[in-house]
Amino acid sequence: MITISDVKKIYQSKAGPISAVDGVNLSVKEGEIFGVIGYSGAGKSTLIRMLNGLEVPTEGTINVGGQAVSTIKGKKLREARQSIGMIFQHFNLLWSRTVIDNIQFPLEIAGVPKKERVNRANELLTLVGLEGRGDAYPAQLSGGQKQRVGIARALANNPRVLLCDEATSALDPQTTDSILDLLVDINKRLGLTIVLITHEMHVIKKICHRVAVMENGKVAELGDVLEVFRNPQQQVTKRFVKEVSQDQDSDEVIEQLIKEYPTGKVLKFTFVGDSTGQPLITSLIRKFDLEVNILQGQISQTQKGAYGTLFVHLDGEESQLKEALTFAESQLVKVEVMAG
């Protein structure tokens, strides 16, 4: 569906050339929700803008749905963009037009007859959960409702690809989740390929199938979301994963747990997929002569299964502790010794 090959984007400045994207190679499958995450300046915004021709690569090629958007121009590029919808962080709505007129706008530009435009806009109002708000103006809507209008407008031309440029960054957490749920629903109903960029790992965790982690214009890490959570390789990825999987176990909390349990071992168990449903603690208690204390933990859901962390304290004979660790690892649980 989308192929990015050896893409570079270099901007010229008074201080010299600035490399925003540096040799990126990516592919996105049809019907996939693909996330690109990175901190400010990582190059993710430049990358997504090149997917619909708003920016042209300095080197390399970009193919979206069979169209070489990195090289085509004029009428061919405009036609290609009709199959690529885009939603933005700050909505980019026309404030002087009603909701239904905003949704119709791409169809108006494309020369679609008015009756057909109105019918399509009403269908989309229902799809995004805004029935009855067609005559409202953007200023009368909440942030989440504005973004729903932006999504409906992006879908007006029946695109094959939907690009999301920090689409939830201006929203509160509850509204963010409702918009993400809507994107998942659209992906499933329409088979739409979605590419989103974000600096929030919660967004990746909640809806993406695969993720590319960008740093300094390069792809630092790439893989299935569950695998990236289970075994992050790069330091930047570990920082992102920690934001959502270890929000309860900051360094201070871990240090306090270690102080409270000076003997035995403080362990961190990481569960992925089917392993989250295993009765590991019950098995440890039954199989080994150990004291087992659950300290804290949490389980999160991703599009490809559950991901969880659990901190426990085990105390007992050293031989029993070693056997218990070996047993835990045999249950496809990642084990980290935090102390002891």
Top-confidence residue, 330 or 143: 143
124-158 tens-digit pLDDT: 999 999 999 999 999 999 999 999 999 999 999 99
What's the pLDDT band for 248 if we cut at 50, 70, 90? very low
Query: Contacts for 187-191 with beta carbons within 8 Å, 24 or more apart?
Result: 187/31, 187/33, 189/127, 190/155, 191/30, 191/31
Residue 252 confidence (pLDDT): 67
3-class DSSP state of 334: strand
How much of the chain is helix, strand and coil, in % rounded to 5?
A: 40, 30, 30
Contact 312, 281 (CB under 8 A): yes
**Matching fold, domains 2-243 and 246-339:** no
Any idea which fold 2-243 has? Rossmann fold (3.40.50)
Report the C-alpha gap between 89 and 97 in whole angstroms: 19
Q: Which amino acid is at 227?
A: E
Contact 139, 98 (CB under 8 A): no
40-52 tens-digit pLDDT: 999 999 999 999 9
Mean per-residue pLDDT of the chain: 89
Q: Which amino acid is at 295?
A: L
In the predicted model, what is the mean pLDDT of residues 253-274? 77
Report the C-alpha gap between 69 and 56 in whole angstroms: 8
Lowest mean pLDDT among 43-52, 54-63, 172-181, 330-339: 330-339
Lowest mean pLDDT among 84-98, 191-205, 273-287: 273-287
- What would be the CATH architecture of the domain defined by 246-339? 2-Layer Sandwich (3.30)
31-76 tens-digit pLDDT: 999 999 999 999 999 999 999 999 999 999 999 988 899 999 888 8
3-class DSSP state of 181: helix
Report the C-alpha gap between 107 and 82 in whole angstroms: 10
Sequence spans of domains, the chain: 2-243, 246-339
Residue 289 has, within 13 A of its CA and on its CB side, a CA count of 5
Lowest mean pLDDT among 109-113, 263-267, 302-306: 302-306
